[in-house]
Amino acid sequence: MTTMTTKTTKQTKQTVINRRSFLGTSTLAGASLAAGSLFAVNITENTKKLKVGLIGCGGRGSGALNDFLEACKVLGIQGELVATADAFKANAEGVGKNRGLAAERCFGGYDAYQKVVASDCDFVLMATPPAFRPVHLAAAVEAGKHCFIEKPVAVDPAGARSVIATGEKAKAKGLAVVAGTQRRHMADYLRNKAMIDAGAIGKIKGGVVQWNGTVPWIKRRNEGESDASYLTRNWVNFTELSGDHIVEQHVHNLDVAVWFLGRLPLAAVGFGGRARRETGNMFDFFSIDYDFGDDVHIHSQCRQLAGTYQHVGEMFTGTEGACYGGGKVNGKQVTIPAIKVDTDNGMVQEHVDLIRSAMTGQPLNDAKSIAESTLVAIMGRISAYTGELVRWNDLVKNENSPFFNLACTPAAIDFESGPIKLPAEVPSVPGKA
């Protein structure tokens, strides 16, 4: 595919089908030949030791590994790292060395994930830049591994739809798939969700979700550095790999909105812009109106600007009161079941829930819910980039919509097949994108 995310040029139907098929099956050719397991790994309640592989060995990857191993301790199980993979081998070796892993079990390159899913690991943790996650999840499920996948799970509609399809394959194989949406595993959010469902604030009529922060980091291009290397190192500033910060960060808050309301938005319209970002091609800020139907609108607000007001959270107003994310609830008195968690750390609890579900033969499967929340964020980004109203069906049903066919390039598979071309480091222009 050669169409940028910022374009709305209509593709031919044949091109779309080819890419959808490729994301769903063909990208697994190397991995499935090496590790084409037909069933889930043999994990039971009597298992004493779990083997884990890590794909993506940056800060979030090493954090996810620490959380998984801590979850093993919570459950009284031994956890062992058996393989690492990263586009940059030094990163894979660095994480491996810290955990006593032999260098020959640390793999580098854009196809290194295939070696992890072909290893003897029981679980695979995926924390690469979001653009790579649909391909990596598909390979891990094909190999019969239980999976933890960081959010968001894609950067374009095709990638998100691929994750939903992979999730169905995981269900058929009895595999657990848990996403890095830790709020869904935190006692205070679980409590407030239960209170809303019990009618504490009545019917939700609107709300605001926010992630107002700063640019996490900026990488400068090294002299003589390849396009692939620079793009990968500076991924958090490029839409093609991160999805823009409305997708990469703000998906957490949008996911809470979808979760608390219990339904998906019908449409989105919004705007954004760029004034100070120093590298890449993303916006500095977004303001999106999400129409959830029945006269319910959620205002999505996010920005990455230093020296400005910082706030991350959610607020919902109902006919009987209001709820502030995982905080206070003002409304009617209701009775809810006791909320039980193993740890106050939601980023550890999500791994506890992943492991327990696999061991008890009741595998959790977050693939569809996190892919849908990712699509909600993508829908807002597309609206801001283009200046157009974007409907949910444009992304999931209407193949004649130019938004359905929208694809980021270079795509994950392009990094495996040869040199890639760096996208222009300029933002989209609404009305012209």
Architecture of the domain delimited by 13-183+347-365: 3-Layer(aba) Sandwich (3.40)
pLDDT for 42 equals 73
Q: How far apart are CA 376 and CA 185, in angstroms?
A: 21
Tokens, residue 396: 């999931």
pLDDT for 217 equals 93
pLDDT for 39 equals 53
- Sheet containing strand 123-126, edge to edge, reads 106-108, 78-86, 49-55, 123-126, 146-149, 177-179
Is residue 134 within 8 Å of 375, Cβ to Cβ?
no
Q: What is the pTM of this model?
A: 0.92
Hey, which CATH number is domain 186-332+374-409, 3.10.129.10, 1.20.1050.10, 3.30.360.10, 2.40.160.60?
3.30.360.10
260 Ramachandran zone, left/alpha/beta (phi>0; psi -120 to 50): alpha
pLDDT for 280 equals 97
Q: How far apart are CA 113 and CA 147, in angstroms?
A: 13
DSSP state of 9: P
pLDDT along the chain (433 residues), means of 10: 36 32 37 44 85 97 98 97 98 97 98 98 98 98 98 98 98 98 98 98 98 96 97 98 98 98 98 96 98 98 97 98 98 96 98 97 97 98 98 97 95 95 95 82
Whether the CA torsion 359, 161, 137, 90 is positive or negative: it is negative
Q: CATH 3.40.50.720 region(s) of the chain?
A: 13-183+347-365
Q: CATH 3.30.360.10 region(s) of the chain?
A: 186-332+374-409
Cα Rg of the chain, angstroms: 21
Is residue 332 within 8 Å of 144, Cβ to Cβ?
no
Q: Which residue has the tokens 């049903």?
A: 397
pLDDT for 40 equals 58
CA atoms within 13 A on the CB side of 426: 5
Q: How far apart are CA 116 and CA 277, in angstroms?
A: 36
pLDDT for 34 equals 39
Is residue 109 within 8 Å of 55, Cβ to Cβ?
no
397 Ramachandran zone, left/alpha/beta (phi>0; psi -120 to 50): alpha
153 contact partners, CB below 8 Å, separation of at least 6: 130, 133, 134, 137, 159, 160, 163, 179, 367, 370, 371, 374
